[in-house]
A and B are shown apart, each in its own frame.
Chain A
Amino acid sequence: MTQEKAPLQSPSIDPAELAKFAALAAEWWAPDGAFAALHRMSPVRMGFVRDRAMSHFQRPQGRRPLDGLTAYDIGCGGGLASLPLARLGAAVEGIDASPEAIGAARAQAAALGLPAVFSVDAVEAMAARGAKPADLVIALEIIEHVADLRSFLEAIEALVRPGGLLILSSINRTAKARALAIMAAERLLRWAPEGTHEFEKLVKPEEITSALPGFAWEKPVGMSYSVLDRSWRLSADVSMNYLLAGARPG
């Protein structure tokens, strides 16, 4: 996956398909739609990804600090993180198992004219067929939804090139997360449909780091939500939402 190969206008995109998914894109990209909670996370999540990538790859300040880097956005959904990565200059491929989400992502990328590629795929399948590893791999708010964490993480490892960077974010499996993240997010604030998260599936940061011991992991960083401001900020408290960055030794 290189800059040149990232098609600006993929031949696989059929205009009729685009139209069909435009409605879904509207849902994914409506600021007060079903995915509003994820949109609210974007400034802090993307700020973290940008800062970690800039320091890891020693990129100078600028409008396109990730220019020339290749990236996979695993579990990309409607492209909420892929499109920002494309704006920052990365040649990004978004991967999701849901054809509807991928259709929505493609429609939005097309409407914005952003050169991001999207594929209905699974990390295990990609690893098995030897997909080209990328400089940067992000998997945001996805591991809490996967069926087999270990096989998922091992497949992801194969997608990060030696010397590359992996960034994950998720919800911690703590009593506080149970009370607040699931109950508040799903029942009270109605951010996510009920049943979006199952407590047993939540992952602790140390479960990730111990599953991928070959990575040089940074300390996890917390994300806290202010109900008053309706906005997220980075914090030292990782008992709820957290972000985790690890470098694969070169």
Chain B
Amino acid sequence: MTLRSSPRSFTAQPRSDVFISGGGPAGQTLALALAQGGLSVAMADAQPPAETLAEHFDGRAFAIAFANMRMWKALGLGEALAPHAQRIEKIVVADGRIGGPARDGVSLSHLFFDREEIAPGADGEALGYMLEYRHIRRALDQAVRAEPRIRFLAPMTVEGFEAGPAGVSVRLASGETIASDLLVGADGRKSFVRRKAGVDVVGWPYPVTAVVATVRHEKPHGGVAHELFLPAGPFAILPLTGHRANIVWVEKHKAAQALLAMREEDFLAELRPRFGDFLGALSLEGPRFGYPLSLQLATAMIAPRTALVADAAHGVHPIAGQGLNIGLKDVAALAECVVDSMAAGLDAADPSGLERYQRWRRVDNVSMAAATDVFDRLFSNDNLGLRVARRTGLALVNAIGPARRFFMRFAGGAEGALPKLLRGESLAA
């Protein structure tokens, strides 16, 4: 069923209510949310699905906040994701020197977040869920292809678009043009939609690269996530299903390049003193991946007939694992605004609806970018004075504020008005 069952006698080109450029995790989630709300969606992704769904396309694993997990469940992905989701029961943040999380035991400079404190009992809501990129991608891809309201084109690149009073016409690499009410840029950090819409970005690169790898370990991790602040930057051990963990290891570019290039045994030898031996013997699973980090914020999230979501609108430091999480909040808010506009008979790109989206998300996104940046500066500095101050607990008091706030957000999205999907509600009329 299409939303507007009436024939569109004057429009020769195919038309959908919304066109999404970029079928990454944000774009695909948005497509599902809009389709659930009754809208017709066309979506293009530049990469061939055979690549994006391959076993080793992307080594990242995501810590997904439970509000976002609730949204994915509300969109019907619960069953597909459940077998791959590792509950996070506890988070330990420590100001470390090389030596591993288990080395100095409980010290003043540790912060604990225990799920039991918030949601006691064996089936209390987890602090979050660890999910590997490929499992997210596969679950989303399957759901998108099963949804008749979504037309998914991949590999297909968006090459141009033109917005006018009666819609936006999107030009594809195939030569086809598709008309829509609204064009959404979910096309990642280098967003073509953002550039073409004339939206500027502010930001700066960090002089570091995140090295990501998956390790197998001997002993069970018990669902504990560790974030350790080492001189060059954060080092995280994130629990995956089974006896596995995803590590995110931030180093200066040069050191990171070396870590990526060296033989496996050498890499493990570098890893062991940082990781510690609390989980027993370690081995690598799959390749290592490197992601240079930067902070980047679009100066606007909307333009006429255009909206930006997730990395297209903001790229933050992965220090608190928030990149996709805040992107998914954009998705939930935009979907609700657009569905509300159409429910009142308005254009999907109704300016009031788009402005409501921008108001809803902008403050959160800017403060997250600023907070991750400050947090990173506080912790990534190997200045002796700072280190001593941190050790004595003086700076800890300051650090607890942002840290706690992070993980509170992380654990549930404590902000006032949560979009329906993040409360686990459907957008279906």
Give the residues in chain A near B9, CB-CB below 8 Å.
8-9, 113
Interface residue? B344 (CB, 8 A): yes
Given known contacts A9-B10, A30-B165, A42 and B352 CB-to-CB distance under 8 angstroms:
yes
A111 to B350, Cβ gap below 8 A? no
Near B by CB (< 8 A), chain A positions 118-162 give none
B351 to A46, Cβ gap below 8 A? no
Give the interface centre of B165, B341, B346 by most chain A CB atoms within 10 Å. Answer: B165
Give the interface centre of A40, A43, A46, A62 by most chain B CB atoms within 10 Å. Answer: A43
Given known contacts A50-B343, A231-B356, A29 and B165 CB-to-CB distance under 8 angstroms:
yes
B contacts with A: majority SS: loop
A169 to chain B, nearest CB (A): 14
Cα distance A229–B3 in the bound complex, in angstroms: 30
Cα distance A31–B166 in the bound complex, in angstroms: 11
B355 to A230, Cβ gap below 8 A? yes
Interface size of A as a range: 35 or more
Give the residues in chain A near B356, CB-CB below 8 Å.
231
Tally of contact residues, B, Cβ under 8 A: 31
Give the residues in chain B near A193, CB-CB below 8 Å.
none
Return the chain A residue nearest B4 by Cβ.
A87
B344 to A47, Cβ gap below 8 A? yes
Pairs A-B, 8 closest by C-beta atoms: A113-B8, A84-B345, A111-B166, A29-B165, A31-B351, A46-B344, A88-B345, A87-B345
Interface string of A33-63 (1 = CB under 8 A from B): 0001001101100110010000000000111
State which of B10, B304, B345 has its C-beta within 8 Å of the C-beta of A83.
B345
Given known contacts A42-B350, A50-B345, A113 and B11 CB-to-CB distance under 8 angstroms:
yes
Give the residues in chain A near B341, CB-CB below 8 Å.
43
Give the interface centre of B346, B359, B429 by most chain A CB atoms within 10 Å. Answer: B346
Cα distance A55–B11 in the bound complex, in angstroms: 34
Given known contacts A84-B345, A85-B345, A43 and B11 CB-to-CB distance under 8 angstroms:
no
B307 to chain A, nearest CB (A): 13
A45 to chain B, nearest CB (A): 8
Interface residue? A108 (CB, 8 A): yes
Near A by CB (< 8 A), chain B positions 58-103 give none
Give the residues in chain A near B125, CB-CB below 8 Å.
none
Cα distance A64–B4 in the bound complex, in angstroms: 8
Interface string of B11-38 (1 = CB under 8 A from A): 1000100000000000000000000001
Give the residues in chain A near B351, CB-CB below 8 Å.
31-32, 36, 39-40
Return the chain A residue nearest B340 by Cβ.
A43
Near A by CB (< 8 A), chain B positions 306-344 give 340-344
Interface residue? B233 (CB, 8 A): no
Near B by CB (< 8 A), chain A positions 80-136 give 83-88, 108, 110-115
Interface residue? B164 (CB, 8 A): yes
State which of B3, B304, B344 has its C-beta within 8 Å of the C-beta of A84.
B344
Give the residues in chain A near B7, CB-CB below 8 Å.
8, 113
Interface residue? A221 (CB, 8 A): no
